[in-house]
Amino acid sequence: MQNPRADVWHRHPADVERQLRGAVAAGNVVTLAGGVPADELFPSVQLDEAMASVMRDDGAAALQYGWPEGHDRLREHIVAWMAAEGVEVSPEAVLVTSGAQQGLHLLGRLLVPEGAPLAVETPTYASALQAFDLRQPAWRAVPRTASGLDLGCLADAFERGGARVLYLVATGHNPTGGVLTEGERLEVLRLAERHDAWVIDDDAYGSIHFARCGRGASGAPGTPKRPSPLRAFGRHLDRIVHLGSFSKVLAPGLRIGFIAGPASLIREATHLKQALDLETATLTQRVLARWLDVHPLDQHIARCITVYQRRRDVLLDAIHATFPHARREPPDGGFSLLLHLPDRLDARALLPEAIRAGMAFEPADPYFVHGGEPSAVRLSFSNVDEYGIRLAIHRLAGVVERAKVG
Ligand SMILES: Cc1ncc(COP(=O)(O)O)c(C=O)c1O
């Protein structure tokens, strides 16, 4: 039998992680690695006030154990947030998790029997693959780019590949930033329904949705509304699970995500969660619920989108000017884009040199379920200001030029 530990580890190669940690610690390296929200967008003062108010009014309850399904007031807020996105769920159909990442783990355990076929996009969020690796699934890889999903290949994954579970990031796809169209969403649901397959719609970035490049600021009049999450389409509802998170839209340090889906699945997931960690931290759940009592989440998100969209545009301009022939596609959401280095240069081999030159990126090969894409890099624009983005790409250009000559 394979060693499951080895499988979980290869998604985040130790040498890459060590170098990226070193780059952050060095302080003088501009890092486009890691899909993290902008430090300066955290509502720190407001969260501080929410914390003080929770401790003043409900201190004992906030420091006490709670229940595995999550804090009731927070679940009400989640239900309201989802309703605004067009998804109808009752509070009983929502489980608060320790980040969306825990939701991935729970769903892997509940929906994917060991060794069973599992359809995933390729590339996709590497830590989702890491969570599912624990089931040692028979991967059915469905190509995904910023401009869409290979629906023929998805049909094949169900039909001939025997997959009965699909994991996808329909909006703000990680790493490409792609957003599936409504037509693609309907086709995914039609195929899944036909094969009685589960669909895990990872909506961690769902609210981070931009106007297409050059079509004006998101949130401005005329900007297309974000495409609804899959559960909003009302088809095949007994097999669609929605995965949400407050990490990208508010603060990952809270470690709060959620899953929403059919009541029976949520009941099972709640039991499993209880076995894993009893509950999501009571304190942060209550602080978040109190913050949401006072501050409209949509207004906060709109402010964030304005910043992220501008950074996305600056990164695209810098890449266009520096690597006009490199393969990449403009992201319509999320925090990152995928770039293929010119001349099929090996991203992992280039990383130490890039860090020495004062910039960091993430080699994206682990995002491809079967690997084989050494020149792919993931560039995140979310937590670097516009000057830093231009500087990082300028430095990368120097590294690439030297590597080509060498
Ligand atoms: C697509 C996707 N899903 C889920 C997660 C996990 O998010 P959380 O911080 O809520 O665990 C991430 C984090 O990067 C992500 O990119």
Q: Which atom of ligand 1 is nearest to the CA of 124?
A: 1
- Residue 377's pLDDT band (cuts 50, 70, 90): very high
CA distances from 303 to 137, 208, 249, 393 (A): 40, 11, 10, 25
Asked whether 247 lines ligand 1 (CB < 6 A), one says yes
Give the chain's mean pLDDT.
Answer: 93
Predicted local confidence at residue 25, as pLDDT: 84
4-42+299-405 CATH = 3.90.1150.10
- Residue 115's pLDDT band (cuts 50, 70, 90): very high
- Average pLDDT rounded to a whole number, residues 313-320: 96
Q: Which of 162-171, 249-258, 327-336 has the lowest mean pLDDT?
A: 327-336
* Contact predicate 71/96, CB 8 Å: yes
Any idea where the domains of the chain sit in the sequence?
Answer: 4-42+299-405, 65-295
Nearest-angstrom CA–CA distance, 93 and 69: 9
- Average pLDDT rounded to a whole number, residues 176-187: 96
- For ligand 1, atom 2, the nearest C-alpha belongs to 204
**Mutate-to-test residue for ligand 1 from 120, 205, 247, highest number of ligand atoms within 8 A of CB:** 247
DSSP bridge partners of 141: 120
Q: What percent of the chain has pLDDT over 70?
A: 95
C-alpha 70 to ligand 1 mean position (Å): 19
User: Which fold would CATH assign to domain 65-295?
Assistant: Aspartate Aminotransferase; domain 2 (3.40.640)
Predicted local confidence at residue 224, as pLDDT: 58
Predicted local confidence at residue 332, as pLDDT: 95
C-alpha 57 to ligand 1 mean position (Å): 32
Asked whether 382 lines ligand 1 (CB < 6 A), one says no
Nearest-angstrom CA–CA distance, 381 and 315: 7
Is it the case that residue 52 has pLDDT exceeding 90? yes
Is it the case that residue 318 has pLDDT exceeding 90? yes
In 3D space, the residue among 297, 280, 307, 320 whose CA is nearest the CA of residue 385 turns out to be 307
Nearest-angstrom CA–CA distance, 354 and 4: 32
In 3D space, the residue among 59, 45, 82, 108 whose CA is nearest the CA of residue 246 turns out to be 82
Give tens-digit pLDDT for 205-243.
999 999 876 544 444 444 557 899 999 998 788 999 999
Nearest-angstrom CA–CA distance, 318 and 39: 22
Q: How many CB atoms lie within 10 A of CB 154?
A: 27
Nearest-angstrom CA–CA distance, 100 and 257: 5
C-alpha 74 to ligand 1 mean position (Å): 19
Is it the case that residue 403 has pLDDT exceeding 50? yes
C-alpha 196 to ligand 1 mean position (Å): 26
Predicted local confidence at residue 217, as pLDDT: 42
- Average pLDDT rounded to a whole number, residues 33-56: 97
- Residue 363's pLDDT band (cuts 50, 70, 90): very high
Buried b (16+ CB within 10 A) or exposed e, 231-246: bbbebbbebbbbbbbb
**Mutate-to-test residue for ligand 1 from 97, 101, 121, 169, highest number of ligand atoms within 8 A of CB:** 101
